Amino acid sequence: MPKHFSLIAVAVAALLSGCSLIPTYERPTAPVPEAYPQASAQGQNTAVAWRDYFTDPRLQQLIDLALANNRDMRIATLNLEQARAQFQIQRSALFPSVGGVASANRGNSQITGELGNTFTAGLAVSAWELDFFGRISSLKEAALAQYLATDEGRKAYELTLVTSVAQGWLALIADEELLDISRRTLVTREESIKLAKLRFDAGFSSELDYRQAESLTEAARATFAQQQRQRALDENALTLLLGQQIPAQLLTSIQGAKLAETTPMADIPAGLPSDLLARRPDIRAAEQQLIAANANIGAARAAFFPSISLTAQYGSVSNELSNLFKSGTWGFNIGPSINLPIFTGGRLTANLESAKAGREIAVAQYEKSIQTGFKEVSDALAGRTTLAEQARAQTAQAEAERKRFYLSDLRYRNGVASYLDLLDAQRSLFALEQADVQVRLTQLLNQINLYKALGGGWSEASLGKQEVNNR
């Protein structure tokens, strides 16, 4: 083949390699209402990094430990590295693979029949496919979208990890407060049973009063044991999230703590549903999966067209090893090959149909992720106002019950009221104090859920910061 003709062929191939059969991508319309229920007109939300939202230094320390040591977070980061490598592997198919070749042969010449040697050395390009119809480029775009989806998945897990640590920390504080309530209640009831025993022995009350006091005391003891177990379970769960033991000074710092005294979290306006498309990493990951599925259609379409490959070699050939690199022994050869699909038993058509079905699946998954995000935000908004009112009312009710218990105890000691009134006041106060802690915990957890549902914020890890060059 003449040298100038070969160069022209390569140039034409390079020009034609920009062809793409990937369908034009259009983002599906978000299948949700234009406004959240119970949302106030506060404008769009802005990105809030977790350090700006969770301002308690102790909680920040725990989150830092979790981000550094949590094994699932480590797996998510390694998955991202693997996806990056897969993208680079797919991208490398766009370029020729050049390698050194050397060979030595001895045998009869097909022309003279004489026995002789043949030595060869040089560079070779083996089966470089010219991407005329964009098959390789389509696969590269799909691999890139898969990499970006993996990156969004890492961010989604980081957001989940941050909020889970915050929830676990608040649960421990709630456990401490509940334990304190149970401890104080148990002490009070043990004093009551002593008084009931004295009155029974002196003949001022019946055995029924004494047995009722005994029953309530044992019930408080059982609740205290149950809450000790729950406290241990919650500590174990937080330890797993951290990937290491909870620092002892942090556990000491929450002894006697109350949820009402915790450092408040920043307020986040709800924004608009369209914000979710840009804020939530799980939705962005679903969209990247959709883009990858769209690119796979281009690759399946390109498979219907001929594939052209080039094999080339440049080097030296000599009958003597000593003359291998001398002038006059150098030369080159280049040879194109074409593979034209004629009969494939329906394989190519099936691959295309499969790719199209894959895109429809990705569309449905993308729409479902938007609907899920909208529901989670709406649920958190519904709880924001109602939980605040519930907490206020329950605190007021608990305070009223404390006064009732004080008056009932005073009346009983003075012989004015029956022991049944005192027992009823004790039971009611204990239940309300526990319910007060639970509703406060639910209110704080709802704030965390709203932060997570709106997309939260994340620290860009080194892998996430790096750009994928030369798309």
> What are the tens digits of pLDDT across the range 235-282?
999 999 999 999 999 999 998 889 988 888 887 766 667 667 778 899
Compute the chain's Rg from CA coordinates.
Answer: 37
Q: Give the count of alpha carbons within 13 A of 98, CB side only.
A: 7
pLDDT 10s digits, 392-445:
999 999 999 999 988 988 887 787 777 778 888 888 889 999 999 999 999 999
- How would residue 7 be classed by pLDDT, with cut points 50, 70 and 90? very low
In a domain, 318, yes or no: no
CATH number of the domain where residue 76 is located: 1.20.1600.10
pLDDT 10s digits, 222-235:
999 999 999 999 99
In a domain, 19, yes or no: no
In a domain, 151, yes or no: yes
In angstroms, the CA 104 to CA 114 distance is: 17
- How would residue 357 be classed by pLDDT, with cut points 50, 70 and 90? very high
Give the CA distances from residue 42 to residues 191, 271, 456, in Å, rounded to whole numbers and listed in that order: 54, 7, 17
Most confident of 18-27, 312-321, 457-466: 18-27
Give the residue among 401, 402, 423 at the shortest CA–CA distance from 412. Answer: 423
Calculate mean pLDDT across residues 314-322. Answer: 62
List the structure tokens of 291. Answer: 């883009």
Structural domain count of the chain = 1
DSSP 44-77: ------HHHH---HHHHHHHHHHHHH-HHHHHHH
pLDDT at residue 266, as a whole number: 83
pLDDT at residue 358, as a whole number: 92
Q: What are the percentages of helix, strand and coil residues in the chain, rounded to 5?
A: 65, 10, 25
- How would residue 12 be classed by pLDDT, with cut points 50, 70 and 90? very low
pLDDT > 90 in the chain, percent:
37
Please check the confidence at residue 117 and state whether its pLDDT lies above 80. no
Please check the confidence at residue 177 and state whether its pLDDT lies above 80. yes
- How would residue 468 be classed by pLDDT, with cut points 50, 70 and 90? very low
In angstroms, the CA 464 to CA 397 distance is: 50
- How would residue 176 be classed by pLDDT, with cut points 50, 70 and 90? very high
Bridge partners (DSSP) listed for residue 310 = 128, 336
For residues 419 and 209, the answer to whether their CB atoms sit within 8 Å is yes
Residue type for position 362? A
In angstroms, the CA 158 to CA 162 distance is: 6
Residue 306 in 3-state DSSP? coil
Q: Which residue has the tokens 């915050």?
A: 166
In angstroms, the CA 391 to CA 441 distance is: 10
List the structure tokens of 43. Answer: 């404008």
In angstroms, the CA 239 to CA 217 distance is: 33
List the structure tokens of 219. Answer: 């019930």
Largest CA distance in the chain: 134
**Exposure b/e, 202-215, CB count within 10 A at least 16 = b:** eeebeeebbebbee
In angstroms, the CA 442 to CA 130 distance is: 61
In a domain, 401, yes or no: yes
Please check the confidence at residue 105 and state whether its pLDDT lies above 70. yes
In a domain, 454, yes or no: yes
Calculate mean pLDDT across residues 296-321. Answer: 76
Residue type for position 268? I
> Which residue range is the domain that position 198 belongs to?
25-94+133-305+346-463
In a domain, 332, yes or no: no
pLDDT at residue 134, as a whole number: 83
Residue 422 in 3-state DSSP? helix
In a domain, 193, yes or no: yes
In a domain, 128, yes or no: no
Q: What is the mean pLDDT of the chain?
A: 81
pTM value? 0.81
